[in-house]
Amino acid sequence: MGRELPPPAWITPQPPPPQRELEEPRPQSFFSYGFFSFALAVGLVLGLGLSWALGPLPERNTEPFQLKREDRNHYLIAIALEYEHSGNLHRALEKLVALRPLGDPLQALADAACELASSDYINSESGVKALRMAARMYTAQGRGGCAEPLLPAEDLPDKPAAASDPAAPLPSPTAPPTKTPSRRASRATATLRAVATSVPQRTFSPLPASTFCDTANRAVIEVKIVDYLGRGIPGQRIRVRWGDEENVFLSGLKPERGTGYADFQMDEEISYSIDMPGASDPLRADLITGRCYTESGRESLKSFRVTFRADS
Amino acid sequence: MRSLVLGLVLGGLLGLYLGWFQFPRDAYRGDMTELAQSFRDDYAVMIAAGYAADGDLPGALDRLSRLRIDDIPRYVQQLTDRVIASSARDIRDIRLLVALARGLGRLTPAMEPFLDLRGGGR
């Protein structure tokens, strides 16, 4: 018998079979990522809730719109006080709009007066005076609330101090840039109800509308209310009418677009007319949207820019 | 069990930190005392305008008390002096503040020129 030959070189030696690990159970890990993640999320929610419920308000520069309701109401009344002295409706409306009311800023003033008139605020003479001033301001602009009937009848003359007021005889008080219906006249009336009957003057003129085509702003009427120098005027009523319907909205509710800005979403194949009720004639041309193409060739719907400018 | 406890503790601490410092509760509950300086000044000017309109000094004091200031006449004096010194506001506002300071018996020499500009006063 000959010697046993080694295997040929092309035959790879097989590694030994692995030891089976199932023979012994693996020891349990003391840490579970699943449980940990779940508990972390629960703890996070609990911590946030706890801090929001009990945490202090941060020390920071609060703006008037961040005031709590009660202080906000007093701030609104302060705006009316200033208006009573200056007669500057533009400035007052800017401050009202800066409070970021949900709707009509003048109605927000009326609502604040209503709340205060329903509280102890009305028990003091100072409170009554302040509420009267606020009521004079918003009723002169055609707004109303629950404060007027709650106020005691006004005795004339209401303001003996104004004649001897050291700050009153300013050489050139600021004229209201917008309609100036009846602030002065209202002082001569016996009751506040007479103030609301004043007829606003037509003080704005519509400029010819221009069109634009933009895929981001489809079929929109962009309205600007400006004074004679082109500065935006907030709080002005704008009316859009179509068919038997109409929608009245205010300028300045999108302050990021400008103080005198407002917009309206159009529908296709409907003709719209636009004016400022009691303050301007309607825009001569009706506005109808239709298909248009942007400079890059994209299809959109035509939009309009309309400006109402104060006459003086 | 350890994972749960550890997760709850870490999550709770993280939540407290975020809620307390990084994302504090909404500030729509602020009061007048937290108003930024410029808005506090603005509020005082508006109250001074109200005083100019109705001559109601107790009413002006009551309204300014919402700022929770201990010594309101002193505050009005300091505010008026500061506004005059910095020329930070319109001259009409300065006149209103001067009138209120005068009503409160806190007229200072720095304020007097603004009384003169109005052509006298009370």
Q: What is the pLDDT of residues A40-91, one digit of tens each?
A: 999 989 988 888 777 665 556 788 988 888 999 999 999 999 999 999 888 9
Contacts of A166 in chain B (CB under 8 A): 52, 99, 102, 115, 118, 120-122
CA A26, CA B27: separation in Å to the nearest integer?
54
**Residues of chain B with confidence (pLDDT) below 70:** 24-28, 116-122
Angle between helices B57-64 and B37-54 (to 10 degrees): 160
For residue A158, is pLDDT > 60? no
Question: Tokens 């005198």 label which residue?
Answer: A260
Of A219 and A60, the structure prediction assigns the larger pLDDT to A219
Residues recorded for chain A? 312
- Asked if residue B78 and residue B51 are part of one domain, the reply reads yes
Residues recorded for chain B? 122
Classify B31 as helix, strand or coil.
coil
- Asked if residue B26 and residue B42 are part of one domain, the reply reads no
Question: Tokens 């007319």 label which residue?
Answer: A273
- Asked if residue B98 and residue B87 are part of one domain, the reply reads yes
Point out the residue among B15, B32, B36 whose CB comes nearest to the CB of A71.
B32
**Looking at chain A from residue 174 to 233, which residues have their Cβ under 8 Å from any Cβ of chain B?**
174
pLDDT at residue A155 in the model: 56
Query: Which of B28, B33, B54, B80 to mutate against chain A (most A CBs within 10 Å)?
Result: B54
For domain A204-310, the CATH architecture is Sandwich (2.60)
pLDDT at residue A21 in the model: 54
Classify B39 as helix, strand or coil.
helix
Picking from A78, A148, A48, the residue whose alpha carbon sits closest to that of residue B67 is: A78
pLDDT at residue B15 in the model: 86
- Asked if residue B70 and residue B87 are part of one domain, the reply reads yes
**Looking at chain A from residue 85 to 124, which residues have their Cβ under 8 Å from any Cβ of chain B?**
85-86, 95, 124
CA A304, CA B26: separation in Å to the nearest integer?
38
Whether B26 maps to a domain, the answer reads: yes
CA B7, CA A3: separation in Å to the nearest integer?
70
pLDDT at residue A96 in the model: 93
Q: From A127, which residue of chain B is nearest by alpha-carbon distance?
A: B59
CB contact at 8 A, A43 and B8: yes
Whether B122 maps to a domain, the answer reads: no
* Average pLDDT over every residue of A8-19: 62
- The tokens describing B28, both together, are 């729509």
Whether B69 maps to a domain, the answer reads: yes
For chain A, percent of residues with pLDDT exceeding 70: 72
CA A70, CA A119: separation in Å to the nearest integer?
11
CA A33, CA A48: separation in Å to the nearest integer?
22
* Half-sphere exposure of residue B112: CA atoms within 13 angstroms, side-chain side: 3
ipTM: 0.78
For chain A, percent of residues with pLDDT exceeding 90: 24
CA A224, CA A233: separation in Å to the nearest integer?
8
Contacts of A61 in chain B (CB under 8 A): 34-37
pLDDT digits (tens, 9 = 90+) for A272-283: 999 998 888 888
pLDDT at residue A177 in the model: 37
Of A112 and B3, the structure prediction assigns the larger pLDDT to A112
Classify A70 as helix, strand or coil.
helix
Contacts of A183 in chain B (CB under 8 A): none
Instruction: Tell me the pLDDT band of A175, cut-offs 50, 70 and 90.
Output: very low
| Domain around B65 | 32-117
Of A106 and A158, the structure prediction assigns the larger pLDDT to A106
Instruction: Tell me the pLDDT band of A33, cut-offs 50, 70 and 90.
Output: confident
CA B22, CA B10: separation in Å to the nearest integer?
16
Whether B45 maps to a domain, the answer reads: yes
- Asked if residue B67 and residue B106 are part of one domain, the reply reads yes
- Asked if residue B63 and residue B101 are part of one domain, the reply reads yes
- Asked if residue B24 and residue B38 are part of one domain, the reply reads no
What's the mean per-residue pLDDT of chain A?
77
- Asked if residue B79 and residue B25 are part of one domain, the reply reads no
CA A249, CA A95: separation in Å to the nearest integer?
18
For residue A12, is pLDDT > 90? no
pLDDT at residue B74 in the model: 95
Burial of A136 from C-beta contacts in 10 A (0-12 / 13-18 / 19+): buried
pLDDT at residue A312 in the model: 67
Of A138 and A168, the structure prediction assigns the larger pLDDT to A138
Question: Tokens 């003091």 label which residue?
Answer: A124
Ranges for all domains in chain A classified under CATH 2.60.40.10: 204-310
Number of domains forming the structure of chain B: 2
* Cα B98 from chain centre: 16
pLDDT at residue B76 in the model: 95
Contacts of A79 in chain B (CB under 8 A): 46
| Range with lowest mean pLDDT among A23-27, A167-171, B60-64 | A167-171
CA A153, CA A92: separation in Å to the nearest integer?
26
